[in-house]
Structure 1
């Protein structure tokens, strides 16, 4: 048998070059690979092998001697050992209303809707008032009472703060829906804004059957959401222990210092967060809102990523998030009537809320998907739009068959 040693050496050279190239690519991309693959695998394994976060209760608990009871006006200097900021704008009677000719009272609040907004986002707030956040629309067209308020702090730029605050005062005089506390409205104060929501709800709207927290660049298909909440009420005899949204399971803390989501080991040393829902938009039942409020009184709010802190509070109270395939993550839902038919939330709508509202609530949407052929057509369309080979962080492929 004849062996060509020159060919063997050539193959070995090719293998060496290929191996070297692969190693170079891995070394260059290792940080991203570690973050997106290795960290997530380690975190997910840890989350579901350990399957317990009892240690969080101890680690995040506040010394009870530092606690101060929360007064009826929400203006105490400290709550649960953390600062409770005074209100600059408030509407404590927001959830109190009269009745109508049919005897149904408007203070029978189905949903208390908190929209997290930045002080300068006047146009976003107005677009929401004109579309999915319009209380009058929900009452007249859907027959339910929804209360919507915007949660915000003060403008972070000291030079612009006075002018922006004057504009906010004028805006609030017109619409009466701004809830503002005297903290600087920045990313690292999002947990402060979350605490504001649950404390305000406890003090001023504890009878609301559901509470929703949403960003001001989110779109909510209010008719679909109201139908969904009504269904929960009927099926679950009042809907208890509900926390629903786009669930992040076994997510790892981000350790890269160049990320705005960076969490140092000193703040959170464990490789996995408790399960939590994307902070862009989620719904809790009234009893869960009360539990989260209680957790904010006894847990340290140093975790500045608000949706993670929500997960820590819920874990401490024995509440687990539930996935809903039509609550979006950080991604934007596809624009198509067959998507609108099931849509609850979609994220990333800073400029197109009005046009999307007109399209999503067009009566033609329902007729398109009605009947066997319409249902079959829309299922096929959703498969093409949602079952993509790459990650979209909006609706999963499972939503195509919902």
Structure 2
């Protein structure tokens, strides 16, 4: 009788385990039906690309000064002039010695452009390039490439700022804001600070470049994710997010994939910075130029003339002179000389 009772218990436990397994399977099936871009329990998105150009450890470990912010920029192969503007304005180490800058670029089939990028990198040593084709629907590869590279070659940075190459950043305001956060929460981690989108509608218009069919993305609204124009990661996040990306199926909408699906799989905490962004170019120009709104904008989008980017940077320097008079005045003089030399070549 006792033996039969034990057998009965074992059978019940076995049924219970099977029931639990079926529940888990049902949950996974339900998740895949609503949002297919959730983390699997095995690698589904290996990043099997090789470096064409890689400055390696030289970007972050080539001096004794610590790295407070690593800036990585999504840039197109032919956007040389934009990269020059960024190097000479808001991302310059002349003014910000604890900042590092690196550009993320894919390859192109144009051999002349590839040679030009190689020559550019010989001068600046700040370009990371992998052998995927640089195209709009390959931007996710670029985002994963950046996470992978940072987790290996600049893992000790305090913060990571991602921007597109048509963004102007008030770096003074950025650093002041982060230093303020450090004072209030010195051990901040697992966080992304950004312009956070909630319930962003999925584009169903087949004529749009952002079009997604229901087969591509069955939900009508995206879960929370960040504007890809600019976002800030705490230094621990690139490695966590790169590892998570291996288990999240590839999705070509890079902003959602990187800052939504992958970030969520890496257990990120979102911090809203939306009030410091201005996306429309004319409005960004107005806010930067106005004394009343100058200190309320950190990121401005300038997809048009690069002269506008230089104009905004002059304005930023002018507004910061009273805080850093010697440093800014010396930099302004050398920068104005460079701009005078480049005015005929950069439009």
Query: Normalising by the residue count of structure 1, what TM-score does the alignment of the two structures yield?
Result: 0.66
Alignment of 1:1-400 (within 5 A): 55=31, 59-60=36-37, 67=43, 80-93=44-57, 94-99=59-64, 106=65, 108-139=66-97, 145-155=98-108, 158=109, 161-301=110-250, 303-310=251-258, 311-328=260-277, 330-332=279-281, 333=284, 334=286, 335-350=289-304, 351=306, 352-363=308-319
For the residues of structure 2 that align with 1:253 and 1:358, how far apart are their CA atoms?
Answer: 39
Aligned length: 284
* Deviation sequence 1:228-264 (CA, Å, 0-9, x none): 1111111112322321111111112111111111111
Contact 1:278 1:307 in 2 (8 A): yes
Contact 1:337 1:365 in 2 (8 A): no
Contact 1:172 1:178 in 2 (8 A): yes
Secondary structure of 1:188's partner? helix
Query: How far did 1:288 drift?
Result: 2.6
Distance 1:316 1:249, change over 3 A: same
- Structure with max Cα Rg: 1
Contact 2:47 2:144 in 1 (8 A): no
Query: How far did 1:113 drift?
Result: 0.7
Counterpart residue number, 2:3: none
For the residues of structure 2 that align with 1:83 and 1:119, how far apart are their CA atoms?
Answer: 20
* Deviation sequence 1:210-233 (CA, Å, 0-9, x none): 111100000011111111111111
* Deviation sequence 1:103-137 (CA, Å, 0-9, x none): xxx1x211111110001011100000000111222
What are structure 2's unaligned runs of at least 5 residues? 1-29, 324-347
What are structure 1's unaligned runs of at least 5 residues? 1-53, 68-79, 100-105, 140-144, 368-402
Distance 1:247 1:58, change over 3 A: closer
Query: How far did 1:182 drift?
Result: 0.8
For the residues of structure 1 that align with 2:40 and 2:300, how far apart are their CA atoms?
Answer: 40
Query: How far did 1:320 drift?
Result: 3.8
Query: How far did 1:63 drift?
Result: 6.4
Secondary structure of 1:95's partner? helix
Counterpart residue number, 2:16: none
For the residues of structure 2 that align with 1:186 and 1:58, how far apart are their CA atoms?
Answer: 25
Distance 1:196 1:244, change over 3 A: same
Distance 1:340 1:58, change over 3 A: closer
Secondary structure of 1:361's partner? helix
Contact 1:338 1:365 in 2 (8 A): no
Secondary structure of 2:60's partner? coil
Higher relative contact order (CA 8 A, sep 6+): 2
